Structure 1
């Protein structure tokens, strides 16, 4: 006799919300954030500050609005992050905008050095996380997570 699949595979465990996909994604995200907070705190950075440094290393000149979107914070919070990084000497922004309101940010040499210092610790956290998954499944997991995000952004 063939075993039939549950009619609702997303809630196959019944009413146990702790086994739902959304709950498990949030649990993984919270664990990652906590582990990153722990290693960054020793370097005097927050996760949004670190993420901003990473993004500016890849895309110099990003605006506050673009950085806020990419680091999952509000524009107001993004501005606080940028001010803090600027006061710490890790980024520079012009005093005024050339056009519109955007003031493109760039890493300073000190910002590049601080980023290089913390990257190894953050990448070790990510490696610990990914190390829990069989290597042959990582590529599929990344694609699945990307598809999940895209489906919800529609």
Structure 2
């Protein structure tokens, strides 16, 4: 049996806990935990909140478009949309004139719930932003965009 050589790490981290991917995941888990807790008080999950935020900015999106914009599968988005519709937070037509996509819009109740939840979520984002020196924030955002683009290639 041939011995395999160990792959070289992409940077000089001494420990897996120092790898970029691990630190990104840790930051994501912290954000998700804080958002889960805050949104529970508003009767929303993170995917539901993300859906409301995206629809507020881009009303009329289809299920597939919402799924892409909120980083969930189309099947998961169907569940999210069904729950939000049952709660009276969004509206979808029963039928459409052409095509299969049924555009989604927020109801008045959806707007109220979104605005109430935004205060909590924006407070979490403000905590994150305060943790980064002001002169480094723009660079951090650019770096995160570069990382995302590099992984799409």
Could you state the TM-score of these two structures normalised by the residue count of structure 1? 0.91
Q: Within 5 A, what are the aligned runs for 1:12-23?
A: 12-14=12-14, 16-23=15-22
Structure 1: 5+ residue stretches without partners? 1-7
Structure 2: 5+ residue stretches without partners? 1-7
Residue 118 of structure 1: aligned partner: 117
Are 1:57 and 2:51 matched, yes or no? Answer: no
Superposition CA RMSD, Å: 1.3
Please give the per-residue CA displacement for 1:14-43, whole angstroms capped at 9, x wherever unaligned: 3x1110001100110111000000000011
Whole-angstrom CA distance in 2 between matches of 1:36 and 1:10: 31
Whole-angstrom CA distance in 1 between matches of 2:138 and 2:11: 25
Are 1:136 and 2:126 matched, yes or no? Answer: no
Residue 5 of structure 2: aligned partner: none
Whole-angstrom CA distance in 2 between matches of 1:109 and 1:40: 19
Equivalenced residue count is: 146
- The CA deviation at 1:131 is 1.1
Residue 76 of structure 2: aligned partner: 77
Taking a change above 3 Å as real, the CA distance of residues 131 and 9 of structure 1, as seen in their structure-2 partners, is farther
Residue 107 of structure 2: aligned partner: 108
- The CA deviation at 1:10 is 4.0
Whole-angstrom CA distance in 1 between matches of 2:51 and 2:16: 34
Please give the per-residue CA displacement for 1:98-121, whole angstroms capped at 9, x wherever unaligned: 322211100011111111111010
Contact 1:63 1:105 in 2 (8 A): yes
Are 1:38 and 2:7 matched, yes or no? Answer: no
Contact 1:56 1:105 in 2 (8 A): yes
Could you state the TM-score of these two structures normalised by the residue count of structure 2? 0.91
